Structure 1
């Protein structure tokens, strides 16, 4: 699952960097005056992809990365909901929320539930479960 999340994020981030106006075309919105903002979002999401690949390689040590990832996947839709309810963005931009956030809630939550005891044990023993080694 984290391999899929990693590959997805790297691909999405790369595409956002190459074509930062795609969402605005898709949603029928006026193109951005500063597409570099969307390019930067793509870069950040691409970097999350690298972290997700690390969780896939070291699943016993990925709790913190997955927790931060899930927090973003919850906060992002809240921000989107505000944009839509205040009329700043059309509902058609929900493609972002569906593909970047909602589809990942359950797998991330299951991983966090399953990895919590290991992370807690390592923390109590003075070892950071998310450190290399």
Structure 2
């Protein structure tokens, strides 16, 4: 892959970030699948009537962890996985904001997005800046459309 610029951050940093992200997501996902009411207890919310929904979320988060481990192994090919992951880490807090602002969920539930989403914005964003393929940048550049 050809970069348009020199990476801002050393490769080792990104490898560590995605190793941590992978282990974190797999651990969070497994625990949430096994104990789907944990978050509602921590946030002092009424338990879910259908905990299998949260267990399914745990499964999806855990699978993202496997993908982040793959990114850690092959940084040059992980940009699409990270772009989709970052999109989810942006959309999740937007959804949480709607739940809190509507009064459906208490403010204390925001703890969920701190560790699952917000802390990853900067390293995922920097990675995308450093590893987005040059050909893809050209393909989405409006000045380059023929």
CA apart distance, 1:98: 0.1
- Please tell me the root mean square deviation across aligned C-alpha atoms, in Å: 1.3
Whole-Å Cα distance in 2 between the matches of residues 123 and 69 of structure 1? Answer: 19
* TM-score of the superposed pair, with normalisation by structure 1: 0.88
Say if 2:110 is the partner of 1:94: yes
> Could you say what secondary structure the match of 1:39 adopts?
helix
Of 95, 99, 108, the match for 2:124: 108
In the alignment, what sits opposite 1:55? 71
Distance in 2, Cα, partners of 1:2 & 1:63: 12
- Separation of aligned partners in 2, 1:5 and 1:122: 25
Q: Which runs of 5+ in 2 are unaligned?
A: 1-16, 139-146
TM-score (norm 2): 0.81
Tell me the CA shift for residue 122 of structure 1: 7.1
Q: Which stretches of structure 1, 4 residues or longer, exceed 6 Å deviation after superposition?
A: none
Give the direction of change, closer, same or farther, for the CA distance of 1:55–1:85 in structure 2 (3 Å limit). Answer: same
Consecutive unaligned residues in structure 1, runs of 5 or more: 125-133
| 1:57-111 deviation per Cα after TM superposition (whole angstroms, max 9, x unaligned) | 0100000000000000000000000000001101111111100000000000000
In structure 1, the partner of 2:53 is 37
Distance 2:115 2:137 in 1: 33
- Equivalenced residue count is 122
Q: How do 1:1-133 residues align onto structure 2 when only pairs under 5 Å count?
A: 1-116=17-132, 119-121=133-135
Where relative contact order (Cα < 8 A, 6+ residues apart) is larger, the structure is 2
How many angstroms apart in 2 are the aligned matches of 1:72 and 1:93? 18
